[in-house]
Amino acid sequence: MKLHHMLLSILIGLMVFGGCSKDETSVDPELVVSVDKLDITKAGETKTIHVKSNVDWTIESSESWCKVTPEFGGAATNPVQVAVEANADTDERSATLTVKADNLIKEIQVVQAPDYALLLKQSVFSLTADNQELSIGFQTSGTVEIAIDGDWITKKEAKSIVDGSQTFIISANESFIAREGSIKFTLDDITEIATINQNGIDVNIPADKTGVESDAVTLAGKMIAGWNIGNSLEVTGGETGWGNPVVSKQLIDGVKAAGFNAIRIPCAWDSYITDRETYRVSDAWFVRVKEVVDYCYENEMYAILNIHWDGGWLENNPTYDKQDEINKEQYALWQQIAVYFREYDEHLLFAGTNEVHADYGTPSTENIIVQQSFNQKFVDAVRSTGGKNAYRNLVVQTYNTNIAHGVNFHEMPTDEVADRLMLEVHYYDPWDFCGQEESGFKTQWGAGYTDVSSYGQEDYLNEQFGAMKTKYADKGIPVILGEYGAMLRADLTGDALTTHIESRNNYLKIVTSAAKANGMIPFIWDNGGTGNNSFGLFDRSTGNEVHSDAIDAIIEGAGN
């Protein structure tokens, strides 16, 4: 029995000893991976990572283009090869490597660059109308050249960029018409284009009478004598296309110093349209016109800005078949002009057209109806923009700016604000003295002279101007004498030249004086040239007076 009990005790002891030995040899699993992320080139490559564990482990890839070898291992530090194929896509791609050891899991991100030589991170941008900076990010394998389509977009730093981003300055959109520009990024023969869409500002803002308190009669009384910047901003081929230099502040300073306090700015717009669907005018042209308007403002002068001949698209077509098409453009252009300049005070006036005519004969009913619809569209367009334009004084024209047609046919347009309209006519009578260049022209005008025309003398002048006074000025509608003058016959010699100059100065003085006496504000025509058959009074380059005698005659007449 003792032996039996002893063997049983030994057996139980061995069993207990064996159980304790098993617990003492078990371990907690460990897992360490040498990296958390792998960056792979677009060409593909093989990289080695290391997996350290004290137990068996496995590794698998989420993507077929990323393979791992081996896919399992035992307790030790083991190298694993990660082989990534070339990326033929233009997008970045990624895979996840998952390593498991018992209940432990580790993930490694594999990120591979796209197959690009040049790639924009974003290619379309929608922006507000405000001035702002825009940063465009891109990836490239070389040096990128940048070209901009849109004079309202500029590079913040004028240099080429390699990988990263480029910042651009987006100018404020002063128009209510949205605009689109583009920025082209080029690397060798590869091009990526970023499209920039910028919203316009509000077409209509609340009416604001500040700075535009004067009604038409009051404002007309502040204008003493006016001068035209002729053959400059109205030139469709560019400001210098008809031989004059660009208009400078020095020139406007000289005009102010001579005694003029108002300037008429004949202007082209149609030839500066960049989008025929919206009739959007070039931003650069608006900036240039603003410069000239500001020259006047800096001299505390009044400025009348118009749509002039402008290639004849409006001026030569007062017909039913053109009416709708022209009025669509007339409205679109004047909304833009009005919005751009709507913060200017009463020193700025708008004039809707110029010498609208089908021919130089008596207008038909059709001609009058269509021409006056152009005036109405102009008024409606300006008033639709609100702000100071709700009260701005506007100038409309008679048919062909002719006095007789103004008396016989003209009707003022409807306006939502009272007493803010003026009427414009021109006067070049008698034409054979004032503007005729071919043979048979006259060199003199007025009583006491001999080489004079058979019509258009002082009695005719007083009759014409008196009719405008009776029909318009006396009824509270001021009249702008937007153009008048007589060309210089500088090729004459001796006494003939002396008498011509004397007679011409007499004409300028008397016409100016008659205009003022009949409620009209005179604006002398100046086309820039100062030689034979020209109307110019100033040196356009310096602003100096060239024909001081003529200027003195005008200013004296305006004073009378």
CB distance 284 to 244 below 8 Å: no
Structure tokens given for 357: 């005519």
Which amino acid is located at 367 in the chain?
Answer: N
The CATH superfamily assigned to 205-559 is Glycosidases (3.20.20.80)
Task: Classify burial at 95, counting beta carbons within 10 Å of its beta carbon; exposed 0-12, middle 13-18, buried 19 or more.
Answer: buried
C-alpha closest to that of 97 among 127, 74, 71, 135: 71
What was the pLDDT predicted at 117?
78
Domain chopping of the chain, boundaries: 31-112, 118-198, 205-559
What contacts 542, CB < 8 A, 6 or more positions away? 250, 251, 254
What was the pLDDT predicted at 158?
53
The catalytic residue among 355, 458, 463, 545 is 355
- Separation between Cα atoms, residue 191 and residue 185, nearest integer Å: 6
Q: Is 355 a catalytic residue?
A: yes
What contacts 484, CB < 8 A, 6 or more positions away? 426, 427, 428, 511, 515, 522, 523, 524, 525
The angle subtended at Cα 133 by Cα 128 and Cα 138, nearest 5°, is 110
Structure tokens given for 498: 């002396």
Structure tokens given for 5: 């009990």
Which amino acid is located at 227 in the chain?
Answer: W
Tell me, rounded to whole angstroms, the distance of Cα 510 from its chain centroid.
43
Q: What is the DSSP letter of 358?
A: S
What contacts 148, CB < 8 A, 6 or more positions away? 154, 155, 168, 181, 182, 183, 184
Q: Is 239 a catalytic residue?
A: no
The fold adopted by the segment(s) 31-112 is: Immunoglobulin-like (2.60.40)
**Residue tagged 């100065």 (tokens):** 505
What was the pLDDT predicted at 236?
95
What was the pLDDT predicted at 91?
76
Task: Classify burial at 445, counting beta carbons within 10 Å of its beta carbon; exposed 0-12, middle 13-18, buried 19 or more.
Answer: buried
Per-residue pLDDT tens, the chain, 560 aa: give them: 444 454 445 444 444 444 444 444 578 999 999 999 999 988 899 999 999 999 999 999 999 999 999 999 999 999 999 999 998 876 789 999 999 999 999 999 999 877 767 889 999 999 999 999 999 998 887 888 999 999 899 998 755 455 578 999 999 999 999 999 999 999 888 899 999 999 999 999 999 999 999 999 999 999 999 999 999 999 998 999 999 999 999 999 999 999 999 999 999 999 999 999 999 999 999 999 999 999 999 999 999 999 999 999 999 999 999 999 999 999 999 999 999 999 999 999 999 999 999 999 999 999 999 999 999 999 999 999 999 999 999 999 999 999 999 999 999 999 999 999 999 999 999 999 999 999 999 999 999 999 999 999 999 999 999 999 999 999 999 999 999 999 999 999 999 999 999 999 999 999 999 999 999 999 999 999 999 999 999 999 999 999 999 999 999 999 96
What was the pLDDT predicted at 161?
52
What was the pLDDT predicted at 10?
44
Task: Classify burial at 125, counting beta carbons within 10 Å of its beta carbon; exposed 0-12, middle 13-18, buried 19 or more.
Answer: middle
Give yes or no on whether 118-198 and 205-559 have one common fold: no
The CATH superfamily assigned to 118-198 is Immunoglobulins (2.60.40.10)
CB distance 268 to 558 below 8 Å: no
The DSSP result for 258-308, as a single string, is TT--EEEE----GGGEEETTTTEEPHHHHHHHHHHHHHHHHTT-EEEEE--
Print the SS3 string covering 503-527: HHHHHHHHHHHHHHHCCEEEEECCC
The catalytic residue among 192, 239, 483, 545 is 483
